[in-house]
Amino acid sequence: MTTSGWIQITIYMVVLLLLVRPLGSYMARVYEGERSFVTPLLGPLERFLYRLGRSFGLRPDAEMEWGSYAIAVLLFNFLGFVFVFGVERLQQFLPGNPQHLTNVSPDLAFNTAVSFISNTNWQSYAGESTMSYLTQMLALTSQNFLSAATGMAVLAAVIRGFARQSASTLGNFWADVLRSVVYILLPLSVVFAILLVSQGVVQTLSAPHTVQLVQPTVDASGQTVTQQTIAVGPVASQEAIKMLGTNGGGFFNVNSAHPFENPTPLTNFLELLAILLIPAALCYTFGSMVKDTRKGWAILAAMVAMFVILLGVTVWAEQTGNPSMAALGVDTAPGDLQAGGNMEGKEVRFGITNSALWATATTAASSGSVNSMHDSFMPLGGMVPMWLMQLGEVVFGGAGSGLYGMLAFVIIAVFVAGLIVGRTPEYLGKKIEAYEMKMASIMVLVPVVVVLIGAAIAVVIPAGVRAVSNPGAHGFSEILYAFSSAGNNNGSAFAGLGSNNFFYNLALGLAMLFGRYWSAIPALAIAGSLVRKKKAPEGAGTLPAQGPLFVIWLISVVVIVGALSFFPALALGPIVEHLQLR
């Protein structure tokens, strides 16, 4: 890797880690109901929304047990699904449609609605030619806020399960969602959107512009083309929450590779920073709320270590380039006039380092946004993003969902360590028993089952195989990547798969539902069990859940589970494709 690449990555990681403590501490105060510097400005909005909620029979001031909290999560997301589906199916009759786009088909509307309520944002469509401005703003952007807030609210409840003792309640879902939006996501998004607009990201309600081409060209049917339609729209407002909420759904089909979504090196850096900002800071929030910040730093250290190592593999694979090109005498070495390596599917203005960094960050988090096409990566370069998703989206992961997924691995790690030394496993003074292990196992295994069964079905039925544009190992990788992305609520894709058909819209939609809620509900069940337990002081035989030994042990558990679960499938896809290049 070049010196410039090392400098870029170092600056990125340093800035990210410097922001962890201030933002994490602020979010802890928000979830604990404490005043902050924005309370005088946003407090009236919070109180107004509380009053509005009470008029609908909600009680945001009443504490909930885990079962009630889970029901509220499911009800809230179901209503969100109905709303988004309805707007999509009626968009041609609604205002805010200067392109005069037709209604979205039922199967695509189902897939998209599930995608946005589950914080996946898988897109089987081109946003600028399928969704009206109103649909993008009212349905999709609103869910970018609410789906992220749902994951953060569930995490807040899980943290209270560890922090409280001899209790029965975990907080109030409606209050947690409202605080997540009003005090965290909304102010960050406003500031970020203004920064993006200042750099040239489009924000307008004007209709698409038709311009004359400088040089006429010929289309696929042989007709002369003299004009081009340039799509615009309310992009910056969606881009801000798309990144901060680890949503990833782009206004344009090519996502953040589009110059109207990501025009400059500064926007590229800021958007990259926004992807991991909240998931990283929530680790400190966890430590602060359980009154032991060492636990939060230990989890963050494990995430950072895995991220940096896998980032190094991706950069190396892309910078090394394609040996088939080298065999033809093509110069693939980096130099003053070229980036070298494998530049297929990458923006020249970003180069290999920023493309690899984005691909690793977006799949470490459950963002799914892209500034390059992962389908064009080298086999090992594409395998790393795929495997990061297959680990369960716990290396940073989604806003809230990544950390409660990692806490499931923490429970497993502590339990296994307890068995090794012959002592009752404990974490934060709470005994880890059979019930917690069962729920943690469900959280870890359900996405694995969803991904592998979904991919297995897709490769044996005609509807699944017909959508593959590349035969052989790479075609299998496209299918495996799609179900890995959907089942782990990421949303990125190996774009060679034609997924906008009834089979994939239905199958991937179901994978998103199982992946999201069969992780969130068991996480709440664990919290409901732990909150009733008393805390016991750590003894001489208690595994210290901080320090290098615990970090290494936690990484080992995550990697072993991921390796054992997906190595056979990866061997049929990217690994054999890599060997075929030699």
pLDDT tens per residue, range 367-387? 999 999 999 999 999 999 999
DSSP 8-state assignment for residue 428: T
Helix (H, G, I), strand (E, B) or coil at 388: helix
Contact call for residues 284 and 296 (beta carbons, < 8 A)? yes
In DSSP terms, 203 is beta-bridged to 234
Helix (H, G, I), strand (E, B) or coil at 197: helix
d(CA 372, CA 367): 14
pLDDT (0 to 100) of residue 540: 64
pLDDT (0 to 100) of residue 561: 85
> Which of 349, 195, 130 lies closest to 257, judged by CA?
349
Handedness of CA 311, 193, 155, 287 (dihedral sign): positive
Domain range summary for the chain, segments of one domain joined by +:
3-580
pLDDT (0 to 100) of residue 412: 94
> Which of 46, 539, 15, 523 lies closest to 286, judged by CA?
523
d(CA 79, CA 353): 41
Single-letter code of the amino acid located at 398: G
> Which of 226, 228, 248, 227 lies closest to 238, judged by CA?
248
d(CA 347, CA 351): 6
pLDDT (0 to 100) of residue 541: 64
pLDDT (0 to 100) of residue 122: 94
pLDDT along the chain (582 residues), means of 10: 85 97 97 91 91 83 93 96 97 94 96 96 92 95 96 97 93 95 96 96 93 89 89 94 93 93 95 96 96 95 96 93 80 76 90 94 94 94 95 93 95 90 84 94 94 96 91 93 95 90 96 95 96 81 82 94 88 93 76
pTM: 0.94
d(CA 205, CA 234): 6
Helix (H, G, I), strand (E, B) or coil at 556: helix
Q: What is the 3-state secondary structure (H, E, C) of 455-504?
A: HHHHCCCHHHHHCECCCCHHHHHHHHHHHHHHHCCCCCCCCCECCCCHHH
pLDDT (0 to 100) of residue 4: 82
pLDDT (0 to 100) of residue 158: 97
> Tokens at residue 276, please?
């991991």
pLDDT (0 to 100) of residue 115: 96
d(CA 315, CA 321): 10
Give the contacts of 54 (CB within 8 A, at least 6 positions apart): 60
Contact call for residues 453 and 549 (beta carbons, < 8 A)? no
Longest Cα–Cα distance in the chain: 80
pLDDT (0 to 100) of residue 487: 95
Single-letter code of the amino acid located at 380: L
> Tokens at residue 83, please?
């709303």
Distances 505 to 107, 273, 435, 581 between C-alpha atoms, Å:
6, 31, 35, 33
Residue 177: CA atoms inside 13 Å, Cβ hemisphere, count? 23
Helix then strand count (H, E) for the chain reads 22, 4
